[in-house]
């Protein structure tokens, strides 16, 4: 009997525990923060924000009166271009002249500041305002630069713009990740003037190149002329050398003939008693002896003894 009463008592206690647990669970719901998001918790009745806590992706038990306000932690794009988040940015350069910029920006919100972001943008209009922040910061930069600077110093200009955009973003709980100037357009009048300047520059460069070519051609002509003169001089010197050699050879030959004549005269005079005049008169070797012999004279020439004359 006692055991039955104890069992009944336990059943009642278990039922009470189930009822209490069910009541507790009925007052609690499971909610999650999805991937690539961060959230803060707010009381949907009192609109009071839970301070000091930022919920990262996961599942959480919250009361039915509480909810999550989540924000994307992905990096966000802002494009200023035709068909972009906003139109092409129009500004004035220091010339002054109109300039049109296409810009791409990537930024993120800092999740550690979600409570401040919610207070400032309770309707989540942060993207709209960040577009305005960026546009205003960019439009003020071109007035410090000329049109030409956007062609020669574009990297420096982009750096200045990105620093100003990042400053205003950080002041509003964001952070700049990437800044790009994707296109620059100027007034048609300036572009025409620039094209004319480029054409004039090309013409001047062409004229200079032609001058260089003319100078080189002149130098080549001088070199060719000098070469022809040197060849002609060499030929003339060669001909003169040949003439001198021929004259020298002729002179040496004449000297040898004269020497032979002299030796012959001496031989005639010594051997036959002719005088030099007689030899000349009878053409050296054609005179006949008038002494005992009437045969023709024979002239003998040798390398060692010279000329000798004898009659047959």
With respect to residue 239, please indicate whether it lies within any of the assigned structural domains: no
When pLDDT is averaged across residues 293-306 and rounded to a whole number, the result is 53
Mark whether 84 and 134 lie in a shared domain. yes
Mark whether 34 and 64 lie in a shared domain. yes
Bigger pLDDT: 77 or 200?
77
Residue 108 belongs to domain with CATH number: 3.30.479.30
Mark whether 80 and 152 lie in a shared domain. yes
Cα separation, 9 vs 16, whole angstroms: 11
Of the listed ranges 156-170, 227-241, 291-305, the least confidently predicted one is: 291-305
Asked if 74 and 65 touch (Cβ cutoff 8 Å), the reply is no
pLDDT band at 9 (very low <50, low <70, confident <90, very high): low
With respect to residue 225, please indicate whether it lies within any of the assigned structural domains: no
When pLDDT is averaged across residues 268-289 and rounded to a whole number, the result is 53
Bigger pLDDT: 53 or 15?
53
With respect to residue 281, please indicate whether it lies within any of the assigned structural domains: yes
Q: Give 150-158's long-range contacts (Cβ < 8 A, gap of 24+).
A: 150/93, 150/99, 150/184, 150/186, 151/184, 154/181, 154/184, 157/181
How crowded is residue 172: how many other Cβ atoms within 10 Å of its Cβ? 18
Cα separation, 286 vs 279, whole angstroms: 9
Q: Is the pLDDT of residue 161 over 50?
A: yes
Instruction: Give the domain-ending residue among 148, 164, 186.
Output: 186
Mark whether 67 and 80 lie in a shared domain. no
Q: Is the pLDDT of residue 311 over 90?
A: no
| pLDDT given for residue 158 in this prediction | 96
Instruction: Give the domain-ending residue among 39, 72, 105.
Output: 72
When divided into structural domains, the chain yields a total of 3
With respect to residue 140, please indicate whether it lies within any of the assigned structural domains: yes
Question: What does each C-alpha distance from 45 to 66, 116, 144, 164, 300 come to in angstroms?
Answer: 8, 20, 52, 40, 160
How crowded is residue 39: how many other Cβ atoms within 10 Å of its Cβ? 24
Scan for tokens 């930024």, then name that residue. Answer: 107
Nearest to 130 by CA among 73, 169, 86: 169
Mark whether 84 and 45 lie in a shared domain. no
Mark whether 181 and 116 lie in a shared domain. yes
With respect to residue 16, please indicate whether it lies within any of the assigned structural domains: no
With respect to residue 234, please indicate whether it lies within any of the assigned structural domains: no
| pLDDT given for residue 110 in this prediction | 95
When pLDDT is averaged across residues 7-15 and rounded to a whole number, the result is 66
Instruction: Dig out the tokens for 270 from the structure.
Output: 């010594």
Q: Is the pLDDT of residue 21 over 60?
A: no
Asked if 129 and 173 touch (Cβ cutoff 8 Å), the reply is no
Residue numbers of the domain that contains 116: 76-186
Average pLDDT, the chain: 79
Bigger pLDDT: 274 or 52?
52
Q: Is the pLDDT of residue 133 over 70?
A: yes
Of the listed ranges 83-87, 108-112, 168-172, 281-285, the least confidently predicted one is: 281-285
| pLDDT given for residue 253 in this prediction | 63
Which range is most confident: 125-129, 220-224, 292-296? 125-129
Instruction: Give the domain-ending residue among 146, 165, 186.
Output: 186
Residues recorded for the chain: 312
pLDDT band at 287 (very low <50, low <70, confident <90, very high): very low
Of the listed ranges 54-58, 84-88, 127-131, 228-232, the least confidently predicted one is: 228-232
When pLDDT is averaged across residues 129-156 and rounded to a whole number, the result is 94
Q: Is the pLDDT of residue 297 over 90?
A: no
The 10s digit of each residue's pLDDT in 234-274 is 778 777 776 776 776 666 666 666 666 666 666 656 665 55
Instruction: Dig out the tokens for 272 from the structure.
Output: 């036959």
Bigger pLDDT: 17 or 150?
150
| pLDDT given for residue 284 in this prediction | 46
Mark whether 68 and 159 lie in a shared domain. no
With respect to residue 14, please indicate whether it lies within any of the assigned structural domains: no
With respect to residue 171, please indicate whether it lies within any of the assigned structural domains: yes
Q: Give the residues across from 298 on adjacent strands.
A: 310
Mark whether 81 and 175 lie in a shared domain. yes
Listed in sequence order, the residues at least 6 apart from 34 whose beta carbon sits closer than 8 Å to its beta carbon are 57, 70
Cα separation, 208 vs 210, whole angstroms: 5
Percent of the chain with pLDDT over 70: 67
Q: Is the pLDDT of residue 289 over 50?
A: no
């Amino acid at each position: 009997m006692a055991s039955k009463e104890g069992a009944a008592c336990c059943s009642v206690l278990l039922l009470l525990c189930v009822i209490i647990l069910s009541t507790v669970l009925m007052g609690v719901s499971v909610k999650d923060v999805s991937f690539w998001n961060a959230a803060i918790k707010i009381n949907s009745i009192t609109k009071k924000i839970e301070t000091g806590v930022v919920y990262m992706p996961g599942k959480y038990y919250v009361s039915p009166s509480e909810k999550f306000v989540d924000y994307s932690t992905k990096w966000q794009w802002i494009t200023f271009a035709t068909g972009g988040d906003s139109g092409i940015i129009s500004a004035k350069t220091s010339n002054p002249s109109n300039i049109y910029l296409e810009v791409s920006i990537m930024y993120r919100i800092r999740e550690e500041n979600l409570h401040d972001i919610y207070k400032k943008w309770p309707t989540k209009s942060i993207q709209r305002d960040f577009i305005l922040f960026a546009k205003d910061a960019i439009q003020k930069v071109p007035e410090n630069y000329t049109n030409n600077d956007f062609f020669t110093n574009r990297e420096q200009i982009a750096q200045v713009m990105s620093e100003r955009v990042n400053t205003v973003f950080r002041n509003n709980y964001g952070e700049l990740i990437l800044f790009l100037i994707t296109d620059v357009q100027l007034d048609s009048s300036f572009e025409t003037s620039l094209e004319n300047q480029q054409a004039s520059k090309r013409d001047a460069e062409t004229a200079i190149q032609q001058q260089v070519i003319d100078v080189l051609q002149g130098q080549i002509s001088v070199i060719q002329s000098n070469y022809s003169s040197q060849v002609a001089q060499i030929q003339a010197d060669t001909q003169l050398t040949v003439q001198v050699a021929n004259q020298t050879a002729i002179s040496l030959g004449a000297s040898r003939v004269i020497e032979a004549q002299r030796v012959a005269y001496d031989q005639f005079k010594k051997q036959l008693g002719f005088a030099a005049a007689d030899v000349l008169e009878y053409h050296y070797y054609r005179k006949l002896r008038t002494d005992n012999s009437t045969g023709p004279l024979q002239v003998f020439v040798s390398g060692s003894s010279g000329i000798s004359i004898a009659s047959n």
